[in-house]
Amino acid sequence: MKLAKLVLACTLSLGIANAQDVMQESMSIMEKGMTQIQKGFLNNNIELIKEGSLLVKKGNSLFNDKKVITNYLPENKKHLVNVAAAASERIALDINVLELNLDNKAYLNSADAYSDMLNACSRCHSIVRSW
């Protein structure tokens, strides 16, 4: 019986650790993407902006479903799932706006979309992470 409890405890611990790894990986991918977008704007490098937007899309894709978001939030933050979901939707829309404006050579509008993405990230982090 003790062995079964030990195995169950280890399994749960690994599951929680794995969830945190997925969350950290997703955040790391989005951070790299945001950094590339910023560097692209600073250096007038459209390809760098496009590469960064692909990374942000990839990292943000984890947060398309409230059930998935709830799984990755700490127990005392699960009630904030709507904040994280709204931020994810806002980021997804801003990426589309950024890319459309890049294609139309409306670089100031693209920069505005990047700025709004950064605001969405900061808002979610400040609320969900209790800055």
In this predicted model, what pLDDT tens digit does every residue of 12-63 receive, in sequence order? 444 444 445 777 888 899 999 999 999 999 999 999 999 999 999 999 998 7
Q: Which domain holds residue 78?
A: 2-128
Residue 45 sits at φ, ψ, to 5 deg, of -115, 95
User: pLDDT category, 85, cuts 50, 70, 90?
Assistant: very high
What CATH number is attached to the domain comprising 8?
A: 1.20.120.10
Into how many domains does the chain fold? 1
CB 109 within 8 A of CB 97: yes
Q: What is the pTM of this model?
A: 0.80
